[in-house]
Structure formats: C-alpha cells, structure tokens
Structure 1
Amino acid sequence: MTLNFKKLAGLFMGALAAFTICTTVSASKTKIADVSQYQGNINWKKAAKDLKYAIIRVQHGDTGDADFRIDSKRNVNANGAKKYGIPFGQYGYAEFSSVADAKKEARDFYKRSNAGARFYVLDNEHRKGSGSEQSYVNAWLSQMRKLTNKPLVYYSYDNYVAVHKINYSKFDGSWIANYSKKPTASADLWQYTSKGRVSGISGNVDLSKALKPSVVNSWFKAASADVAKPTYFTSLPSSKKVTTTRNIYEYRDVNFKKRVTKLTAGKKLTVKKIARSTNGAYRFQLTNGNYITANKAYISD
C-alpha cells in the first residue's frame, strides 16, 4: 500500500517536530546551580528542564555561631531534585573557630545532610578562628573521611584561596568562584555568576561551569545513595565504644528482622563483639545483646 504525498509530508514534518522538541529539551539541561532557602519555593518540575545538576545548601555555620542556621529548604530542595531526576550534592557554609569546631561542624553537617546527596562540599570562605585556616580545612576533611565514602569537594573564591594559601589537593575535587574571569586557583568547577536564571526559580541564582567535565561528572555519577560499597568495621575498636553518626535502629537479631528501638545520631554505645548476618554484613553486638550496623557511613569509633 502506498501513501500519498500529503500524508508522507505530514508524517515527515511530525517526526521532525518530535525530534526537534526532544533535542531541544536534552540540550537545555546543561545548567549547574547551587540553591538555598534564599531561592524560595523552587518549582523543581520546571527547574528540571534547565538543570543538569544541583548543589543544595544544608547549613550556615554551626551551633554556637551567632548567625548559625540550618537551611529551611534543605530537605524540600533535596526531595524536589530527587523527584525530577536531578543529581545533587550538598554543601555547608563553614565558620570554623578551632580544629575541634571544624570536626564538630563536619559531623553535624553530615548528620543533617540528605542520604541522596552524591557528594559533600566544604564551603570555606569565612575566616573566623585565630589559628591556621589550613588546619581547620584539614580537620574537616579528616572527619568527613571517617563518615563517608562519597566525594568531598572544596569550595571557595579565588582571592580567599590565595590570601590564606589553602592547599585542597587531598579533596576529591575543587569548586572555585570568580565572577570576572576564570579562577587562577586550580578548579574543576567554576562558579562564574551570581546572576544566573533558571526556569522555576524566581530571581537570580549562582551558576557554574565544569572546567574539567570528567571530574565533575564523577561527583554526580552514583545512581544510589552510596557512592561506594559500604565499608564496615570488621573488628572491635580498642575502646569498645562507638558513636552513631546518623539515626539508626537497634535490633534483637543479627539479620535485622526484629527491631527494638531507634537510636538518634550522636548516641554513644558500648559494643562487645563483631557478628555477621547470613548475607555477610558486619554488625556490632551491644552489651545488652542487641545488634546495630557496623557500617562506617552510620557509625564512628
């Protein structure tokens, strides 16, 4: 059976229109934005048309800082990004006053972050303590390495890095801001404007460009909550003491079938031995006979 010319032309034009719409939508998802409560209520369905990636704020400073605040939109934004398939990382604006404060801020930032975050960012642009800023950065990094296997990224602006001579080579990547030109500091991701526009977001928004796309893409690549396979404690800490870094559950059995109670983040526990479930996962047995996970993403020694 043959088609007449008008029908053939109509089919061709329809296919061309569909192809054009498809490629336009695909091409538009190129922007990388960082967002916080200051962007208000984001329409993530619309934002998903523009955004390739998002970086979402969790907190500004920590308890004890005069201007401390937990970002009121951190969970709303994380859930919106997840719902519309936008891979995201999360960042915390640091206000370190000491090495101990830097470690605490790392623990609290991790505890408040979303499990769906692909990576974590240290936003280091506020000099507060009288000690070495490098020592604070190192302390934050060291503490976060104990809590997660996900990539850890250093953020600051060009001049801050130069003035304080920050060495961030041990991080998994760098994100540097400079709105006049490309940063002189080594950068994988360049925050190039604070006056960008994104569909679904009212007002201005920070936008960034990948200077090293393969590196930046690697931060976002994980399809699940964990970037790497879980790493477990396989032996008892010498102190036989552990601390929960996230909310977890205590179970009566090693296979986690009989839940007993919820344990909040920051809970200190005494453990008496290492056990393994039938599928090989490591568990800590507590002195009361119950079991908790030995996953280092949830427990620290």
Structure 2
Amino acid sequence: MNPKPIILDISEWQVPSQIHYDVLSRQIGGVIVRIQYGSNYEDKHYRTHLAAFQKYNVPVAVYAWVRGTSISDMEKEASDFYRRAKAFQPTFWWLDLEEQSMTDMRGGVEAYRKKLKSLGAKKVGAYIANHLYRQFNIDTKKFDSIWLPTYGQNTGIYQGNNPTATSEYHLHQYTDQGRLAGYSGNLDLNRIAKGKITDY
C-alpha cells in the first residue's frame, strides 16, 4: 500500500494519448509536470498534461531540469521556466538538480531561485539527487521545500527506504516503477514526508 496522497511527477516520456487522465486523476493528490530540460529544450507535452490535470481539479506544480553554466545562464533558465509555465499558475516551482553544470552549483542555483522569486513564483523548491546532495552544497534553507529521491529495491511501492543525505526534506520520490490505473507504463511516485498537500 502506497502512502496517501500520492504525488505524481511526469514529463513527455508519459505520452498524453496513452493516459486516461480522468482515471489517473482520481488516484493522486497532486502532479508535478516537467516544463524544460535546460533553456533550449521545452518538454513536448507539458501544456497538455497541465491542462488535463487541471480539468480534473488536480493541484499542479512544475519542474525544470537545471543546466545553467554561469550565473547569467541560470537566470536565463529561470526566466524561460517562468515564462513557459506562469499561465498555469502552478502551486510550486521545482528546480531539478541532477547535473553538475557549473563549478559553483550553490551560487548558480541560488541565482536561479532568486530570479524565479523576483518574477513572481510564490513557492520554489529543490529536487536534489540524494548522491549529489553534499557535493552540490545547495543553500537549502533558502528554498520553500526540499524533494529527495531514494528507491531502495524499487519495487513500485514504498517500502520505508528513505533519503540518507539529510532528514530535512518534505517530498520523497520513492520509485520510478510505480503503477496506477489509467496508464500502462511506469510512473514516478512520491509521498509527502513533512507538511501537507498544500505545502508541496
């Protein structure tokens, strides 16, 4: 049994034509949709995903894979992220930190966060790869929420394997092999570790 509510995160890898949004929506408490991979690559299906889940009254948040190579590049990525997603009024804006794109990731990521906030993003969070958490040395206290992945045996259900990099996290991605009615492929599933649905 997976912890409720289930928070789903998806991208263009989940093709809209293969999703029964009405069925899937009834099983989740929220969804986090990828908007971009760096500035130059826009997710193919983010508009469709966001509109469909909003139609079924699912709270939507958004995320962007961060690839900035300098402070100015990080700020440009933040601007593109905001421009692409603002019309959907997401509950949360997540920075997906899984790639060392510049030497000073701490400084670069802080520039990205500040830019997003200055543009009008109310809540900004950081998804940090568990094995890169110490290396990146992100100033996590500046963020409104922290999201960490650890899969354990990755069976598709939560088995109590929690992030080890820190105990200060709010959202936990516990599998990329999840299964839910309404979609026949694997899904990334997350649980709220601290806080409530409106905080994520």
- The TM-score, its normalising length taken from structure 1, stands at 0.59
Q: Which residue of structure 2 aligns with residue 126 of structure 1?
A: 99
What root-mean-square deviation, in Å, do the aligned CA atoms of Structure 1 and Structure 2 show? 1.7
Aligned residue identity for 2:195: P
Q: Measure, in 1, the Cα distance between the counterparts of 2:4 and 2:54.
A: 15
- What is residue 33 of structure 2 aligned with on the other side? 56
Aligned positions of 1:157-236 closer than 5 A: 157-180=129-152, 181-184=161-164, 185=166, 186-214=168-196, 216-219=197-200
Other-structure match for 2:61: 89
Equivalent residues of 1:96, 1:127 under 8 A apart: no
Residue aligned with 2:142, SS: coil
In structure 1, how many angstroms separate the alpha carbons of the residues matched to 2:58 and 2:39?
A: 28
8 A Cα contact 2:4 2:191, kept in partner: no
Indicate the residue corresponding to 1:264 in structure 2. none
Paired residue type of 2:9:
D
Note the C-alpha offset of 1:120: 0.5
Distance (whole Å) between structure 1 residues aligned to residue 127 and residue 112 of structure 2: 13
Name the residue aligned to 1:30. 5
**TM-aligned CA deviation for residue 148 of structure 1:** 1.2
TM superposition shift of 1:29:
7.0
SS at structure 1 position matched to 2:125:
strand
Structure-2 separation of matches of 1:29 and 1:164 = 31
1:90 deviates by 0.3
1:100-153, CA deviations, whole angstroms, 9 ceiling, x for partnerless residues? 100000000000114231110011111122x31101111001101101142101
| Ranges in structure 1 where 5+ consecutive residues have no aligned partner | 1-27, 64-68, 220-301
1:45 paired to 2:22? yes
Within the candidate set 90, 113, 117, 1:117 is matched to 90
Kindly state the Cα deviation for residue 197 of structure 1 after the two structures are TM-superposed. Answer: 1.1
- Structure 2, gaps ≥5 residues long: 153-160
Cα shift at 1:165: 2.1
SS of 1:145's partner is helix
Determine the C-alpha separation between the residues in 2 that align with 1:112 and 1:32: 22
Q: 1:156 aligns with which of 113, 128, 132?
A: 128
The code of the aligned residue for 1:56 comes to V
In structure 2, relative to structure 1, the CA distance for the partners of 1:29 and 1:158 (3 Å cut) is closer
The one-letter code matched in structure 2 to 1:89 is: A
Which structure has the greater CA radius of gyration? 1
For each residue in 1:143-189, what CA deviation from the matched residue of structure 2 results, as whole angstroms up to 9, or x when unmatched? 01101142101111211112222221111011111112211222100
Displacement of 1:96: 1.5
Hey, what's the Cα distance between the residues in 1 that align with 2:130 and 2:12?
A: 25
Distance (whole Å) between structure 1 residues aligned to residue 136 and residue 144 of structure 2: 20
Task: Report SS of the residue matched to 1:92.
Answer: strand
Aligned to 1:23: none
Instruction: Work out the number of aligned pairs and report it.
Output: 186
Q: Which runs of 4+ in 1 moved over 4 A?
A: none
Give the number of the structure with larger relative contact order, counting CA–CA contacts within 8 Å between residues 6 or more apart: 2
